Structure 1
Amino acid sequence: MVFLTTARFCFAQKGRDRVLADYLRPAVFSLSMVMVHDVVDPPAASRYYAYVMLGAYAIVSRHDKALVAPDAFIRNYPVSGADVADTGYDYRIAAAFSILETGRVMLPSGYLLEAEEQKFLQLLKKEKWPQRLIDRSIAAGRKATEKVVAWSKGDGYSRLSAKLRYSPLKADSSWFPTPPAYIEAVEPHWRTIRPMLIDSASQFVPPALVGFSRDTTSTFYHLVQEVYRIGKDTGAKATAEQTVAWFWDDNPFAITTSGHMNIGLKKISPGGHWMDIAGNAAGVAGLDFDQTVEVQTLVAVTMMDAFISCWDEKYRSNRLRPETYINRYIDPRWHPFLQTPPFPEYTSGHSVVSTAAAEVLTYLFGPRLDYTDDAEQLFDVKPRSFHSFRDAAEEATISRMYGGIHYHDAVINGQVEGKAIGEYIVDRIKHAGIRPLSLY
């Protein structure tokens, strides 16, 4: 599937900066397609996007003094002056190539990106860049990859596999694996990953959840009934709410069954969706290469921290999914419209991550930017149009209840958590000297 990416985006004869700026969106999407192939879980996907974009940003910020060096706002980032040399190559080629190369090195099936790298080289030759300049630029891109990959090895990811395997808790209120595959809990120790901008995984604890209860007069039972009514898979034509839910599903674990076989449906993650929104917005606004790298980097590192914060809460509150409660206590034949993801319910990951990303994008682009989100078109999901990033995040937030996989307090309080993260990151990058984009 990765080989379809360049075909999605046709390049007209434009200035070289425009050609390379336009290439960034398909370059990042090619990584998303490899993650789809590998069924990379959402928190891990956000980590890959962050390091991939940081390698590119380190190169660009060294050459464009309008951009702030990464060590000015990324915690514990090595001094960026040591990344690559200053002269003898085209930094834009180096940065674009490093996106692919870092993905090739870090992703489990990164070898699939070798074909995309060759397509990129063919694009450069088509645009008549001198071969010697190309060679030097590729070498600089590889050097940036080496630096950022080396730094990534200290974030705790390699130690996750050595931690104790997660076992579901025995309490009635606790999360338990759900149909159809009953996949074990995903990334139960993600809170131990080193964040990019926030102080710690527990810095942004959301408001308290509504307590578990089987009492039919309780607030929690009311939340369950709300999901039971609106999020049921009836097998009939999708409602307007379910159309929204399907658009924002972004569940890389979704499967269908055929006899005794489980077949993966292959979808991008929430992080992949928002990375494409960022690239899409950059194109709509006509951003140049350097600005586009800046936008996608800031969105990527924001989402990595948002997932760390959200996963900290998920495995602290450890609440069961609506599907589990409803099947146990109300209707054993009930199924949600969307498949339930394999991790605890509170807070909603999409609510946290979408809201945080939208806050950063709103700071950069302003409160209104009309765009059409076609990130899922390759997966036969019709595009939807939005007037702002906050509008999109609002829809992504409520979509989780529409899909039958979250209670109302998890999406609303996830939004609170995401907004707090986003506002903190905006304040941090603002103090580092990163300013809103000049679009007009």
Structure 2
Amino acid sequence: MRYLFLLGFLVCHSVQGQKARPDLGRHLQPTIFAVTMVMIHDVANPPAASRFYTYSLLGAYEIMAQHNTAFTAPAALVRSHKKIVIESKGAYNYRIAALFCVLETGRLMLPSGYMLEDEQKKLIETLRKEGYDQAVINPSIAVAQEVAKKVTAYAATDNYLKLSTRLRHRPAKGDQFWYPTPPGYIEAIEPHWRTIRPMFIDSCTQFTPKPAVVFSKDSTSEFYKLAYEVYREGKNLDERKRFIASYWDCNPFAINTSGHMSIGFKKISPGGHWMNITSIATRKAKLDFDKTLQAHWLVAATLMDAFISCWDEKYRSNRVRPETVINRSIDARWQPLLQTPPFPEYTSGHSVISTAVAEVLTYLIGDNFSFTDDTEVLFELPTRDFKSFRQAAGEAAISRLYGGIHFRDAIENGQTQGKDIGTFVVSKIKKAGIKPLH
């Protein structure tokens, strides 16, 4: 009996506790950032990046929620998702499995996912150094691989694989419609993204914003005034506005030209910026592994739905960008501070997704939660202090006017659209029993 008791204690201790070892939570944010770095390498466009984050974290959250029943399972929030049955045998550590699952799902889904194999090896080596036994690591990896494979199969049913079979977007005839912009004149990005299956919202049209201001060349019209405001702002930017615009640029692939030479610069996506803010906030709030993982997955899924909703409107209204309007009707030599992204203008993507995520983070971690954002340090910009998530989202939104890439109505109506999405997600997670984490 003493032998059986001791054996039972050792198994339980090896799988669940290991309290003397460093907290596994400190590995979660670097693991997610490793996925971010591969997306930067791959130049993942903003909507696609949100999808990769969502699925990379879904399996990890599934593993955690099956072991910590205090957390709501994904199937309770996502209608199309069913509980993943874990068939792998052996005593495993669910947090190790969750960590490895983030990397394994990214490895399977990202174009350059093979780059995460080195991160997997580093994680295993670190766990060994921290005293985790190989007898626990191996079955944990097996569970991660099984769940990642099943998540990838689920992801394959969301219509993403059909996008390449659809007709390419052709610019419509008419001055009111979007047309490719310099310097790259890149064709429209993800014109059929609205067909992607959402996570929380019912459909891409659930939060359709009010119509954009009607296009007009009349210098007394409301639209012309919107265009002239962008022109005037661009001509009179002070250092503060220039910095704000550059800070929230988040253009995954900007092109700088010099003569006949074009140089591409890879940057983090808007969603990647907010995923990093989530990491900063959960670390400052000192949330444990499970709460930190939940916060990241909820933010990722909110991003995914916000992009689906926004992209539905972008290609329905198909509105021309300020750069095109100003060059045609006001000043042929004018250039925006930021490079105009290659997709229609209305509504502003950063306004929609930032506002939506800010509502979710405000519920989960708190209002008036101050933090220092260091996301752009990687791109040689200084840190920036914010008093709340909503303040950061508001700055991200108005940055698009300063940058010269959006009209004001696209920003303000985008904020309304984003708040409606965020409020809906919060109501849904409240109904599912998810309480504030901090």
2:173 is aligned, of 165, 170, 174, to 170
Kindly indicate whether residue 144 of structure 2 is the aligned counterpart of residue 141 of structure 1. Answer: yes
Contact 2:231 2:326 in 1 (8 A): yes
Contact 1:232 1:403 in 2 (8 A): no
| Cα-to-partner distance string for 1:279-306 (whole Å, 9 max, x where unaligned) | 1111000010000000000000000000
Shift in alpha-carbon separation, 1:295–1:18, aligned structure 2, 3 A: farther
Shift in alpha-carbon separation, 1:185–1:64, aligned structure 2, 3 A: same
CA distance in 1, matches of 2:309, 2:360: 16
CA distance in 1, matches of 2:126, 2:93: 15
Question: 1:368: Cα distance to partner?
Answer: 2.0
For residue 9 of structure 1, what is the aligned residue in structure 2? none
CA distance in 2, matches of 1:353, 1:18: 35
Question: 1:28: Cα distance to partner?
Answer: 1.1
**Structure with larger Rg:** 2
Question: 1:225: Cα distance to partner?
Answer: 1.0
Give the structure-1-normalised TM-score.
0.93
Q: Could you list the runs of 4 or more consecutive aligned residues of structure 1 that deviate by over 3 angstroms after TM superposition? A: 14-19, 83-87
RMSD, matched Cα: 1.5
Contact 2:219 2:225 in 1 (8 A): yes
1:194-213 equivalence runs, <5 A:
194-213=197-216
CA distance in 2, matches of 1:305, 1:16: 40
CA distance in 2, matches of 1:22, 1:382: 24
Give the structure-2-normalised TM-score.
0.94
For residue 36 of structure 1, what is the aligned residue in structure 2? 40
Shift in alpha-carbon separation, 1:106–1:98, aligned structure 2, 3 A: same
CA distance in 2, matches of 1:376, 1:404: 20
Contact 1:231 1:405 in 2 (8 A): no
CA distance in 2, matches of 1:39, 1:418: 25
Question: 1:265: Cα distance to partner?
Answer: 0.9
For residue 382 of structure 2, what is the aligned residue in structure 1? 382
Contact 1:18 1:288 in 2 (8 A): no
For residue 5 of structure 1, what is the aligned residue in structure 2? none
2:135 is aligned, of 116, 127, 132, to 132
| Cα-to-partner distance string for 1:264-284 (whole Å, 9 max, x where unaligned) | 111010010011111111100
The aligned amino acid for 2:416 is: V
Kindly indicate whether residue 409 of structure 2 is the aligned counterpart of residue 405 of structure 1. Answer: no
Shift in alpha-carbon separation, 1:295–1:188, aligned structure 2, 3 A: same
CA distance in 1, matches of 2:70, 2:21: 16
CA distance in 1, matches of 2:235, 2:178: 20
Contact 1:155 1:193 in 2 (8 A): yes
Contact 2:88 2:139 in 1 (8 A): no
For residue 323 of structure 1, what is the aligned residue in structure 2? 323
Kindly indicate whether residue 119 of structure 2 is the aligned counterpart of residue 116 of structure 1. Answer: yes
Question: 1:19: Cα distance to partner?
Answer: 3.6
For residue 391 of structure 1, what is the aligned residue in structure 2? 391
1:8-407 equivalence runs, <5 A:
19-80=23-84, 82-83=85-86, 88-232=91-235, 239-407=239-407
| Cα-to-partner distance string for 1:343-363 (whole Å, 9 max, x where unaligned) | 000000000000001111111
CA distance in 1, matches of 2:22, 2:323: 48
CA distance in 2, matches of 1:130, 1:233: 62
Question: 1:33: Cα distance to partner?
Answer: 1.1
Shift in alpha-carbon separation, 1:226–1:144, aligned structure 2, 3 A: same
The aligned amino acid for 2:424 is: Y
Shift in alpha-carbon separation, 1:232–1:315, aligned structure 2, 3 A: farther
Secondary structure in 1 matching 2:341: coil
The 10-residue stretch of structure 1 (280-289 or 225-234) with the greater mean CA deviation from structure 2: 225-234
CA distance in 1, matches of 2:235, 2:287: 42
Instruction: Give % identity.
Output: 57
Secondary structure in 2 matching 1:265: strand
Secondary structure in 1 matching 2:256: strand
Secondary structure in 2 matching 1:103: helix
Shift in alpha-carbon separation, 1:232–1:221, aligned structure 2, 3 A: same
Question: 1:262: Cα distance to partner?
Answer: 2.1
CA distance in 1, matches of 2:229, 2:329: 15
For residue 4 of structure 2, what is the aligned residue in structure 1? none
Shift in alpha-carbon separation, 1:246–1:223, aligned structure 2, 3 A: same
Contact 2:89 2:139 in 1 (8 A): no
Question: 1:66: Cα distance to partner?
Answer: 1.0
For residue 4 of structure 1, what is the aligned residue in structure 2? none
| Cα-to-partner distance string for 1:12-63 (whole Å, 9 max, x where unaligned) | xx96786421211111111111111111100000000000010100000000
| Cα-to-partner distance string for 1:225-283 (whole Å, 9 max, x where unaligned) | 1110113498xxx6211101111000012111244232211101001001111111110
Contact 1:104 1:114 in 2 (8 A): yes
Question: 1:143: Cα distance to partner?
Answer: 1.0
Contact 1:83 1:147 in 2 (8 A): no
Shift in alpha-carbon separation, 1:16–1:226, aligned structure 2, 3 A: farther
CA distance in 2, matches of 1:221, 1:342: 22
CA distance in 2, matches of 1:86, 1:198: 36
CA distance in 2, matches of 1:131, 1:276: 31
CA distance in 2, matches of 1:16, 1:395: 43
| Cα-to-partner distance string for 1:65-116 (whole Å, 9 max, x where unaligned) | 1100110001210224x14558610000000111111111100011111111
Secondary structure in 1 matching 2:375: coil
The aligned amino acid for 2:402 is: Y
For residue 8 of structure 1, what is the aligned residue in structure 2? none
Number of aligned residue pairs: give it. 421
CA distance in 2, matches of 1:370, 1:83: 40
Shift in alpha-carbon separation, 1:433–1:326, aligned structure 2, 3 A: same
| Cα-to-partner distance string for 1:303-341 (whole Å, 9 max, x where unaligned) | 000000000000001100000001111111111000000
Contact 2:74 2:81 in 1 (8 A): yes
Shift in alpha-carbon separation, 1:338–1:27, aligned structure 2, 3 A: same
Contact 1:206 1:414 in 2 (8 A): yes
Secondary structure in 1 matching 2:253: coil
Question: 1:125: Cα distance to partner?
Answer: 1.1
